[in-house]
């Protein structure tokens, strides 16, 4: 079997001898992706979704990098994340997507953060708190235009619209969320855009936000006043089926512990799901599903799975990924090409995040949020502790 040209080697970042895997996060690439998305959004302000610990990549260093790049508005999931962003972005506007509770409302004053109001009950509770504290920090109002997840109904939004003509109405943003933004002509995308634009007309003078990562690429119809990309910042392709306009952000490598020979007919790994069809050489690598290498990317006799780059060549997994280890079939590499202590690349320039996710039967979002749980994490491109 002819081998392709060598692929890029791992980034020149020291590994940690105390861990099997290393996750390299390029903060400069995240900043560059934000600038590219801000340019794509034209004259619309570009915010950043940094929920879920900045999609698993580290909330504090990512928020600092984005703030330095010019981002002034952040979206987080909860108050705990808002607190972490505030520590790195003193003057930023922070929206909390999970909204507020009576018990948690005082923290919004402490952090100068804004809840995203998702129900009429929540709005009543927030109004009562605001009145009691004379707080004027504002809140976003989310409308459910078809996701059927969080948000008030369009009818409730229409009934509330006259409120914006009163003094101190407290609504600083009208927002909704696209369910199928990556499919421009999806009927739900079309109907959500139309419905939101109709509602936006009732809230004149209030900034509005609809476009997520993929929504930015839908054009003017989805762009309102504020775009809020998430996954695209971290290298996930916002335009599936087309070339990825984003830079890759992460590289996951693992240390090879052993090269072993497996006779034809022998099996590898739990469940004996992979059988050597010839005399084979197997590289055992110290990375597993505890490091975010999803078990669903395993390879069996009946189904292909993921691959890794070893000695510059793509090599398939052999058998099930276990908690701490993965086996890789390196039989097609020349003898002596790979040794104990070498690195295998699981995600990087030659295996983008979306490609690994596809091999695991999932999406890049899930992969990102599971990385770094145990690996040595190294940042490059910008100082993670400015």
- Alpha carbon 258 to its chain's center: 33
Structure tokens at 87: 């520590």
Residue 174, CA atoms < 13 Å, CB-side half-sphere: 29
CA distances from 105 to 99, 102, 110, 167, 358 (A): 9, 5, 9, 22, 41
Closest among 366, 355, 348 to 11, alpha carbons compared: 348
Q: Which helix (H) or strand (E) holds 21?
A: strand 21-26
**Which residue among the candidates 51, 203, 234, 307 is catalytic per the annotation?**
51
Angle at 181 between CA 40 and CA 54, to 5 degrees: 70
- 219 by DSSP, 3-state: which? coil
**Which residue among the candidates 72, 95, 203, 270 is catalytic per the annotation?**
270
Closest among 269, 239, 253 to 311, alpha carbons compared: 253
CA distance 98 to 240: 28
Q: Cβ of 14: how many Cβ atoms within 10 Å?
A: 8
68 is catalytic: no
51 is catalytic: yes
Closest among 357, 359, 358 to 315, alpha carbons compared: 359
Indicate which residues carry an active-site annotation: 51, 270
């Amino acid at each position: 079997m002819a081998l392709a040209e060598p692929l890029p080697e791992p980034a020149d970042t020291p590994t940690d001898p105390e861990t099997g895997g290393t996750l390299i996060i390029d903060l400069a690439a995240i900043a560059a992706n934000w600038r590219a998305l801000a340019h794509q959004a034209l004259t619309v302000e570009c915010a950043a979704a940094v929920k879920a610990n900045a999609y698993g990549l580290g909330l504090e260093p990512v928020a600092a990098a984005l703030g330095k790049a010019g981002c002034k508005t952040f979206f987080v999931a909860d108050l705990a994340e808002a607190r972490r962003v505030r520590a790195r972005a003193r003057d930023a506007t922070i929206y909390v997507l999970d909204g507020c509770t009576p018990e948690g409302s005082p923290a919004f004053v402490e952090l100068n953060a804004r809840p995203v109001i998702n129900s009429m009950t929540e709005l009543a509770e927030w109004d009562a708190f605001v009145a009691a504290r004379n707080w004027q920090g504002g809140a976003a109002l989310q409308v459910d235009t078809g996701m059927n997840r969080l948000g008030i109904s369009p009818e409730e939004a229409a009934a509330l619209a006259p409120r914006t003509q009163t003094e101190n109405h407290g609504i600083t943003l009208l927002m909704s969320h696209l369910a199928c933004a990556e499919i421009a002509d999806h009927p739900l995308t079309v109907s959500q855009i139309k419905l939101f634009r109709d509602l936006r007309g009732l809230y004149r003078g209030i900034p509005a936000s609809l476009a997520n990562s993929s929504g930015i690429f839908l054009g003017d119809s989805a762009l309102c006043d504020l775009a809020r990309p998430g996954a695209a910042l971290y290298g996930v392709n916002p335009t599936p089926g087309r070339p990825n306009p984003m830079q890759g952000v992460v590289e996951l490598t693992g240390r090879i512990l052993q090269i072993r020979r497996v006779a034809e007919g022998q099996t590898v790994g739990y469940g004996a799901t992979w059988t050597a069809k010839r005399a084979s050489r197997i590289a055992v690598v110290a990375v597993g599903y505890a490091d975010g290498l999803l078990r669903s990317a395993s390879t069996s006799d009946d189904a292909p799975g993921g691959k890794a780059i070893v000695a510059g060549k793509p090599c398939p997994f052999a058998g099930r990924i276990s908690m701490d280890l993965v086996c890789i079939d390196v039989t097609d590499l020349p003898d002596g090409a790979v040794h104990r202590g070498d690195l295998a690349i699981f995600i990087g320039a030659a295996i983008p995040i979306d490609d690994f996710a596809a091999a695991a039967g999932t999406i890049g979002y899930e992969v990102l949020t599971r990385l770094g749980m145990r690996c040595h994490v190294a940042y490059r491109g910008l100082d993670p502790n400015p």
